[in-house]
Every structure is written in C-alpha cells, then in structure tokens.
Amino acid sequence: MKDAAPTTAPETFYLKDYKPFGFEVEAVELTFKLAPNSTRVLSKIRFAPKENAADPRFFLHGEALKLISAKIDGAPVTPELIAGGLICDTPDTPFTWEAEVEIDPAANTALEGLYMSSGMYCTQCEAEGFRKITYYPDRPDVMSTFSVRIEGNEKVLLSNGNPTGSGDGWAEWHDPWPKPAYLFALVAGDLVNHPDSFTTRSGKDVELNIWVRPGDEGKCAFGMEALKKSMKWDEDVYGREYDLDIFNIVAVDDFNMGAMENKGLNIFNSSCVLASPETSTDANFERIEAIIAHEYFHNWTGNRITCRDWFQLCLKEGLTVFRDAQFTADMRSEPVKRIEDVIALRARQFPEDNGPLAHPPRPEQFQEINNFYTATVYEKGAEVIGMLKRLVGDENYAAALDLYFDRHDGQACTIEDWLKVFEDATGRDLSQFKLWYSQAGTPQVQVSEDYADGHYTLTFEQSTPPTPGQPDKAPRVIPIAVGLLSPNGGEVRATEVLELTEAKQSFTFDGLATKPVPSILREFSAPVILERETTNAERAFLLAHDTDPFNRWEAGNALATETRVSMVTEGAAPDGAYLDALEKLVRDDTLDPAFRALVLSPPSQSEIAQSLHNRGVTPDPQKIYDAAETFAQTLAQQLETSLPRLYAATTVDGPYQPDAHGAGLRALNGRILSLLTRLDGGEQAARQYQAADNMTQQYAALASLMKAENGESQSQAFFDQWQSDRLVMDKWFALQVACAAPDAAAGVASDLTGHALFDMKNPNRFRAVMGALAGNHAGFHHVSGAGYQLLAKNLIALDSLNPQTTARMCAAFQTWKRYDSARQALIRVELERILATEGLSRDTHEMVSRILQG
C-alpha cells in the first residue's frame, strides 16, 4: 500500500488544508496478544461525532494491517478499505468501534509501528507509526486516554501511564493523560531494570526504571542520574512537575533516531542511554545527559502540550531542544555549550538552509513527514526561541512560558498559539518576528562602521538568498548583541542587544574617546551569517581580548578559516600570527581547558568547502584535505617544545569521572596527543592506548594512531577486546572509515560492509560505516566517484528494508552543487540511479527529488 513504488508523484500534504477530525475520541482500550509473526491487536474505541464537523467522514488510518473483524456497538460491520486506511458508515450519536487486526512485528525492518529488536517487542509511533498497529485517527490533534492490556510470555510488559494490574502472562496499564497516538508505546521482553525513585517538589514519589537487556545493567547509573537531574531542573527552572507514578526508560538496539518521548515510557536508542567509563567517551556522556533531559522535558513541551499537526513539529522540538541546551549549560559550561551548538548548527543546519533541502522551521508542505525531522526544525527551531527570549528578556520569557502552560495544557497547538502567548505576556507585536517560522534560508548580515567626533556607527544590511519555492524574502527581526572594546583591550560598552528590523539600519554609540573595536553577534545572538570587512590583526585582537567567550572563539575560528582558504587558493603558508596566537592560548592555564580544546579544533573540511563556495571558488576536496594536513603539521612543529609538558599537564589522574571539568581536560589532552603523534609517530599514543582505563583515552589514542597509519595492532586489539559490545563496535567501524586517507576511504568502507559484524538492518551500524564515509570529506568526494557510488549502492539496498534511515542519509548529497562539474555529473548519475530504483520508498523518493531539483 503506502510503501509501494510511487508510480506517479506521491501525494503532497499542505498546512493550508488543515481540517479537524470529525469525531471526539473519548477513550481507547487496546489488547495486544503478542506473537512474533502474528500479533493480534484488539481495539475498542469510544467515538462521538462532532456537531458541524468540517469533515464528517469516518476515516481511520491503517497500513500493513490485516483486518480480522470490525464492529460498531457490538454489531459486525464491513468497512471499505481504501488507500492508507478505511472508511465506514457510523451512527450520528456516540458509538463504540471495535476492531481486531493482525500484524507481523518480526518482519518489520522499517522500525516503525510494533517491531522486534534483539528479541524484544517495542514500538515507534512518531510521527505516523500508530497506523501500523491498528486502525485509528493517527493525527496529533486527536487526543485520548489509553488503557492497554498486554498478553505475552515475556518477563516485562510495559506501556504508558501507570500499571493497573498484572499476572502470569499479562499486564495492564492506564494512562490518565489524554494523548495523541504518536505517544503510544509498548515494550515486552526479558529485560532487567536499574531502579531508583524521585520525590517531586510537592512530595509525590515517582518510581524510576531504566530497562535493558541482561548484561547491560552496569551501564545505567549515569543515565539515571541524568534523569533525576532533569526532573529537578524542570521543577526549579520551569516550575513543571512530573505527573505519573512511574517513569520508565527502555534501551533498544535497533532504532532510527536518538530517542522517543512516549508518555511515561521513553524508548531510547541504546547508544543514547547506555554508558560506562570503559565503553563510552566524554562526548557520549554529555550527549546521553542531554538526550535524557530532552525526552524528559518533552513531558511538558510536546506531551501535555502537543502539536495540532505535523507542520507544527518545531513547536515541540525547537522548544525542547532549547530547554535541553539550557539544561546542559547549567550542568556544564554555558559558553562551551554555546560554541558546541554553533559548530553543530553550521555543520548541519547551514548546509540544509543554503541548499536544495532548505525549508522553514515550520514547513508548509511535505510528502513524508519523517523527512522533516531536520536540523532546521530542531536546531534552528531552538535558535528562534533563543532570539525570542533575547528580545523579550528573561522575565518576560518566564511569564510567557507560564502563560503557555496555563492556557494550553492538554491542547494540540500551533506556532500562532505560541507567539500569541508572548504577545499577550509582553504587549509586543510579533508579526515580523513570525517570519522566522515561515521563511527558509540563512540571512546574511553585512556590517560596516563609521567613527567621527566620538560617535561610532554600525550599519547593518540584511538579505536572504532565494530558497526552493521562496525567491524573495522580507527583512526579519534580528537581535544582534554587540559590545565595544577599547583598542587596549578593556570593554568600553557592555553587551547590548540591537534590534535590526529593516533591510538596512544604523545604530550609533556616543561618547567614545577613541574608535572602538566592535564585538558583534556575541553569544551568536541570531542564526545568521555575519559579513564584515576586517583584518586578521583585529581578529587576533578579539581572540586575545574579547570578554565574550563565544566571540573570542569565533575570532579564532575566522582566522583558522582565513588561513586555510588562502592556503588552498594561493598556496600560502599557514599564517604565522595565527599560529602564534594559538600557541599563546593553548599555554594559557587560566583558560578553561574545554575552551582551549575548542580553539584548537579546526573548522571541518566541509566548512572550508562551504567558505570557498561562498567566495565564488569551487572547492577541491583534495586540496582542502592537504591544507588541513599541512596546517596541523605546522602547528605541531610550532608547539614542539611545549607539547610534552602540555600533554602531561592535561593528563587527568585518578579514577575516571565523566564530569565537565575532567572532560574538558581530556578534550584538550586528546588534541595535544593528535599533534604530538604527528611528531613522534605514535610513541606517546601507543603508551596511552596501553595504559587507558577509560574509553575516552583509549579511543583518542587509537584515533591518533590510525590517523598516523600506525595503529594496526591497536585496532586489532580493540576489536578483540570489544567485539561483543555493539556500541563500542560501532565506534570501531566508524573510526576505520573516518581515519582513512582520501583515496582509501571508499575501499575501506566497502570492505567493512562485507565484515561479519556489519548489519544493514541495524541503523547504528549502517550509520557507523556510511555516515563516516559521508563525513570523510575528501574521501567521499574523491574524484574517482567511488564514494558516491558506494553510498548510493548501499542506500538502494537499505531502502526496501528501512526507508526512514535511507532517506535521512540521502542528505549526504545535498551540497553537491558546490563542487566542480565532473563531481556534479558523478553525483547526478547516482541520484538518478537511486530515483530509478523499482519500488523506491516515498521517503527516499521525496528526498532525492528535492536534492536533484534544488
């Protein structure tokens, strides 16, 4: 049915066509009789027709279901099965619908609906997976209470809400909070738990569990602490308490995304919850803490207040990403988190916003909603909220959020509802601000300055390039945080937020005895591209003196980009002044090690390619790679005498703790080790590998050695040590490809797809290899085209098994128009090959068509 080959273009859904469902759903009762190939699902649903319904049709979504029987008020009926569901004649008074369907969880490799993973049953219903479980109005604005009975021989039988009874081979659950079907979940398996409890601020005891496969119980403690911290933080900062007697988290090995916020029963990709010092890096720990928080925070922003339709996805995702970033900033370092988020935004969202897949945070059309779980909806959605908060101020933000929860608790809402709350709480007109939700593309802001007689003027000009379907853009409201420094380093004007609302606008600062040095877009106050004619000397000044840590890092990042660009375009040597500045910073022990590690981390090769493209130069991936190598080698030589001391000074003694301070030191230590390895060929790295008692150091040593092509024995040892740990093996697979030289990468990846432990059906493993290939810039874009061919071949093979993951990974091709005509031609052949595949999923069809058209 839906997954069949689209013979014509698939149907497009539009925001403007929204119509409410014609019936209230008063209560849902479900019974599951579990069997791997023939699970029976019995539903009993109370419907009440709405008066004057815009769409009175009784249409229930359903896909890949075998209908066994249907009844209305106890009498058998014969519904008409139509594309994507069924329709049926119904009484015009409230009635009870009953249906029995059969489904095949064991054959479900798409990992949507009810499926099996490592012998356990689990579900994934967001966005439109519930329709693969039973016939239902599967749309987020239909909210109801759910009572669930599970019959199965598994030791653990879980669903949403509170447990209401259990016995031999059965369990019952009731969720008192009305919810959309996408938040439904069921888990059944022979699982073990890591239990704990939390007392809410009003004194309610909540039972907490993390459920895992036997053997993984030692990897739950960190996630549990993160959960309790999240619960406390949401009470303290947003005044939101948890609302059920129990909160369960389950780890599953096969999962398309990171995790899912099902009410009271969060389901996690095991890579996003399981952690131990021996198997997880510092980066893993930080990410796990953030994702646990993210899913928990959805309980209010997403579950209690949900989305009216899927066009409003950023209503819950943007806000919840914003909240989890605030949480991480509070738990760790605020500036470091901000820098990390901006790096990620530029790496993932900017290419999307400036290429064929560009769409606004609230899209107005889609073919497959799964293709819109994007960096734009999530990360830009969060940036928009950050701007809103900056514009209205912290107190108004808090008042608006209180009003949002008061006014909309229990509702399915829109971006209009969200903005209205801010307008009502602050008296501000947000109609121009709303353009951030409807316009795609990253605004470019050009700045010029003028100084005379003590008056300093900054003039800003904004414009946004055309994006698919949006040739012209109106000026937006852009909050620009600015501080002014005196030429000898002190701050003469503290940060203030300028509100740019016009296409061109000037702001004047008076009473300045000398021409100041401006620090513009502090904290990255808006997701824009700032363009300003400036000198490397001024950048170096800001790198040394800016009081805003973000802009300090930004100045270094700009210098790094400049020097790499001139190395590529002019064959220049690495900029000496920049190398000197870096050396000073690395040795400055008064600076946070995590910050120093970030300053030492070069912009990615893909980012350099984008910078070249923006300057009208066609990027040559091999040259960019060579420049990166030369730069790192030169830096290592410059630091030669200090590296051993720095290495020793940043080595953390004592037992491993995944805290922010230790992680920062280890991050810096890892950067230093990689430089040191360029000089000593891997002696120190080999010693570190040998001595490491935690994955962070073991992995850093292995990565350095492999990069130096001197890690074969350690790579083998690593494999032998960890071959039965899936998550560690994902690291091993990815590292082979990430460290491969440009002309070897595709071959290495291809060989790995033939490895006994490679498994197409496991998204983590597939992504480990193919994601690492796409991330090896010079390898993926090797002029032979081997990288493109290998990725396309594997995407075609995966599509019939798992359309969602396939479609998402097509984005590796989204930057194709940056490159030379020979590479473009090679990519076009592959994109067309994918598109011509017989039986191609709607998901992949939409992605590839958009990439080709844009």
Q: Is 843 in the site for ligand PHE (CB under 6 A)?
A: no
Q: In this chain, which stretch among 93-101, 124-132, 139-147, 432-440 interacts with ligand PHE, using CB under 6 A?
A: 124-132
Contact with ligand PHE (CB under 6 A) among 29, 63, 126, 725 = 126
Of 124, 175, 160, 173, nearest to 264 (Cα)? 160
Residue 333 or 804 with smaller CB distance to ligand PHE = 804
What is the pairing mode between strands 39-49 and 95-103?
antiparallel
Q: Is 295 in the site for ligand PHE (CB under 6 A)?
A: yes
Token pair recorded at residue 604: 């990615």
Minimum CB separation from Zn ion for residue 258, in Å? 8
CB-based closest residue to ligand PHE: 257
Residue 127 or 643 with smaller CB distance to Zn ion = 127
Contacted by 154, from Zn ion, ligand PHE, none: CB < 5 to 8 Å by type: none
Contact with ligand PHE (CB under 6 A) among 128, 317, 324, 341 = 317
Minimum CB separation from ligand PHE for residue 270, in Å? 14
Q: Is 260 in the site for ligand PHE (CB under 6 A)?
A: yes
Q: Which of residues 200-219 bind ligand PHE (CB under 6 A)?
A: none
Contact with ligand PHE (CB under 6 A) among 90, 124, 144, 147 = 124
Cβ–Cβ < 8 Å for 117, 81: no
Minimum CB separation from ligand PHE for residue 267, in Å? 8
The Cα–Cα gap between 109 and 337 comes to: 36
The Cα–Cα gap between 460 and 482 comes to: 12
- Angle between the N-to-C axes of helices 334-344 and 549-570, in degrees from 0 to 180, rounded to the nearest 10: 40
Residue 260 or 339 with smaller CB distance to ligand PHE = 260
Q: Is 373 in the site for ligand PHE (CB under 6 A)?
A: yes
Number of residues located near ligand PHE, criterion CB under 6 A: 11
Q: In 3-state terms, what secondary structure has residue 253?
A: coil
Calculate the CA dihedral of residues 468, 470, 472, 476 and round it to 10 degrees: -110
Minimum CB separation from Zn ion for residue 251, in Å? 17
The Cα–Cα gap between 276 and 359 comes to: 39
Contacted by 686, from Zn ion, ligand PHE, none: CB < 5 to 8 Å by type: none
Residue 254 or 317 with smaller CB distance to Zn ion = 317
Establish whether 295 is a catalytic residue: yes
Minimum CB separation from ligand PHE for residue 5, in Å? 24
Contacted by 260, from Zn ion, ligand PHE, none: CB < 5 to 8 Å by type: ligand PHE
Of 367, 533, 327, 361, nearest to 437 (Cα)? 361
Contacted by 257, from ligand PHE, Zn ion, none: CB < 5 to 8 Å by type: ligand PHE
User: How many angstroms separate the Cα of 240 from the Cα of each of 197, 236, 306?
Assistant: 17, 8, 16
Which pairs count as long-range contacts for 434-439, CB under 8 Å and 24+ apart, including other chains?
Answer: 435/473, 435/474, 435/476, 435/477, 436/361, 436/384, 436/387, 436/476, 436/477, 437/314, 437/360, 437/361, 437/362, 437/384, 438/360, 438/362, 438/364, 439/360, 439/464, 439/470, 439/473, 439/474, 439/476
Minimum CB separation from ligand PHE for residue 530, in Å? 29
End-to-end CA distance of the chain: 29
How many Cα atoms within 13 Å fall on the side-chain side of residue 602?
A: 26
Residue 240 or 390 with smaller CB distance to ligand PHE = 240
Minimum CB separation from ligand PHE for residue 545, in Å? 39
Residue 320 or 634 with smaller CB distance to Zn ion = 320
Task: Report residue 842: phi and psi, to 5°.
Answer: -60, -35
x/- string (CB under 6 A) for ligand PHE, residues 238-257? -------------------x
Q: Is 375 in the site for ligand PHE (CB under 6 A)?
A: no
Minimum CB separation from Zn ion for residue 218, in Å? 28
| Residue 80 CB burial class (10 angstroms; 0-12, 13-18, ≥19) | exposed
Residue 282 or 368 with smaller CB distance to ligand PHE = 368
Q: Is 744 in the site for ligand PHE (CB under 6 A)?
A: no
The residue to which tokens 């031609």 are assigned? 825
Choosing from 29, 286, 295, 379, the catalytic residue is 295
Contact with ligand PHE (CB under 6 A) among 139, 294, 323, 671 = 294
The Cα–Cα gap between 14 and 363 comes to: 9
Q: DSSP E strands: which ranges in 180-262?
A: 186-189, 192-199, 205-212, 246-252, 259-260
The Cα–Cα gap between 86 and 81 comes to: 4
Q: In 3-state terms, what secondary structure has residue 115?
A: strand
Task: Report residue 13: phi and psi, to 5°.
Answer: -105, 140
User: How many angstroms separate the Cα of 218 from the Cα of each of 213, 224, 282, 725?
Assistant: 11, 11, 17, 13
Minimum CB separation from ligand PHE for residue 295, in Å? 5
Cβ–Cβ < 8 Å for 492, 526: no
Contacted by 543, from Zn ion, ligand PHE, none: CB < 5 to 8 Å by type: none
Residue 294 or 726 with smaller CB distance to ligand PHE = 294
Residue 315 or 484 with smaller CB distance to Zn ion = 315
x/- string (CB under 6 A) for ligand PHE, residues 127-146? x-------------------
Contacted by 447, from ligand PHE, Zn ion, none: CB < 5 to 8 Å by type: none
The residue ranges that bind Zn ion (CB under 5 A) are: 317, 320
Which residues here bind ligand PHE, judged by CB under 6 A? 124, 126-127, 257, 259-261, 294-295, 317, 373
For the annotated catalytic residues, the residue numbers are 295
